[in-house]
Amino acid sequence: MKRRKRITTSLLLLSILLMTLSCKNQDKSQELQDAVVKVDYLNESEADFDKRMAWWRDARFGMFIHWGPYAVPAGTHKGEKIKGIGEWIMERGKIPIAEYENYARAFNPVDFNADAWAKLMKDAGMKYVVITSKHHDGFALWDSKVSSYDMVDFTPYGKDILKQLSEACRTYGIKFGTYHSIMDWHHPMAQGDTYTGNRDITEEDKIEFEAYLEQYLKPQVKELITAYDTDILWFDGEWVKEFTHDQGKALYQYVRELKPDIIINNRVDKGRQGMQGMNKEDADYAGDFGTPEQEILEQASSLDWESCMTMNDTWGFKSYDHNWKSTSTLVHNLIDIVSKGGNYLLNVGPTAEGLIPEPSVTRLTEMGSWLAVNGEAIYNSQRFQNNFKQGESIRFTKTKGTNTLYAITLEKPESVLTIKHMVPEPNSSIQLLGHPGDLEWDYNETSGLSIHLPEDLLSGWNDTTYAWTFKITGKEI
């Protein structure tokens, strides 16, 4: 009896031991499996991050496109001019969903020509594009399988915009990105039908919103990646109360799992600091670059950032907004941004017919002409470590990993241009880009570098000069 008990006990102990062992092994193999498929994209090494961001950092200049059914009313609803930015007309004009849908039903951009748009980007010297796949109004510009509120199923036009544009962009060597709104004024589970911006939300709202993220937003985002291979996901509308920091991090992880080398802006997560939201230093905050809106950082930043800006006062087309910035201002903005280490995402708002407004085309073409001559100071460049500028009218850049330096003057210089913050190599030649021949120069420690500009050269400065780029071999100080 005793012995029996002992055997039973030993057997029991043995089986427990075996069970724990096999359990342990199962844990191990599960752990291994997780390690293979589950990469923690929120804690990426700096080397991996640099590699992924490389093309974007070199690109410097991109086109933002705000386009959707809001181009149809173009700022006027029922004969009334609606205040504010054009793509917000549904909210600002308190237009009910069913009534707004009529604008979508009338959206028929027969003049849309993807090739012409991509060619314009190329001619403007732009290297990438970010187009509204879905803005806050919830309308999809592509043939979505999880929604019929889209370009193909809902409009008389019936063709897929993102398909045409992504293909044309690839033909012209333009990287293709998509703006996607988390807030949705059309989807009932995102409380679109009751959206007011400020109302209190209930537990039920939160549960519904979570379901909207899982069943609608994520599947749509997946389509953007699998069907159009989008290179950038530019999220927005993350400020709605239903959306949480944890959901933001999960969305970032989800997108990276679908396309590991994709680039995602910081509006994917909640908690962006104001317009600038330069939170990358915070490891708990998802997003690859900051997105100051309608402004340029005051100082240079070592974080990645992109200024998005309109050319007039609206993102989406408004027929009566004629407040266009001059080409000179736009070129100066680009130079200022690049000297501080950022990118410029410049917006166009096409018409309901599918045309990019003529004032935008003119300015972009003029910027392209300036870049065709001066682009080597912009693309593939790096900011100066110490001083990005001298006074208000001189900016510096340098070609990555070289001793090629650029001083860009935003105003017509005097006959002697004095430059501090750099020491030329004794045998450096100095040129003004776009002009043949070398310029005379001298250098001493107290007064710095003096470049002598002949009178015939100076008299060549006119209204369409915008800025002059001087190329120097040397080092920054």
* Residues at the interface with ligand JFZ (CB under 6 A): 85, 87-88, 236, 275, 293, 308, 315
For ligand JFZ, the closer of residues 85 and 140 by Cβ is 85
In the bound complex, what is the minimum distance in angstroms from residue 66's beta carbon to ligand JFZ? 6
In the bound complex, what is the minimum distance in angstroms from residue 308's beta carbon to ligand JFZ? 5
For ligand JFZ, the closer of residues 289 and 441 by Cβ is 289
| Residue spans of alpha helices (H) in 38-78 | 46-59
In the bound complex, what is the minimum distance in angstroms from residue 191's beta carbon to ligand JFZ? 17
In the bound complex, what is the minimum distance in angstroms from residue 246's beta carbon to ligand JFZ? 21
Cβ atoms of 100 and 167 closer than 8 Å: no
How is residue 475 annotated by DSSP? E
Cβ atoms of 332 and 394 closer than 8 Å: no
- Please work out, in degrees rounded to the nearest 5, the angle formed at the alpha carbon of residue 247 by the alpha carbons of 246 and 249: 65
Other CB atoms within 10 A of residue 241 CB: 15
- CA-CA distance, 37 to 17, in Å (whole number)? 30
How is residue 315 annotated by DSSP? S
- Taking CB atoms, the residue at the shortest distance from ligand JFZ is 275
For ligand JFZ, the closer of residues 162 and 308 by Cβ is 308
For ligand JFZ, the closer of residues 231 and 236 by Cβ is 236
How is residue 375 annotated by DSSP? G
Other CB atoms within 10 A of residue 119 CB: 15
Structure tokens at 162: 């993102």
Helix orientation angle between 245-258 and 218-228, rounded to the nearest 10 degrees? 20
In the bound complex, what is the minimum distance in angstroms from residue 237's beta carbon to ligand JFZ? 6
In the bound complex, what is the minimum distance in angstroms from residue 390's beta carbon to ligand JFZ? 31
For ligand JFZ, the closer of residues 237 and 424 by Cβ is 237
For ligand JFZ, the closer of residues 84 and 359 by Cβ is 84
Q: What are the distances in angstroms from CA 408 to CA 192, 386, 412, 464?
A: 48, 16, 11, 15
In the bound complex, what is the minimum distance in angstroms from residue 310's beta carbon to ligand JFZ? 8
Q: CB-based contacts of 284: which residues, under 8 Å, 6+ apart?
A: 42, 249
For ligand JFZ, the closer of residues 60 and 135 by Cβ is 135
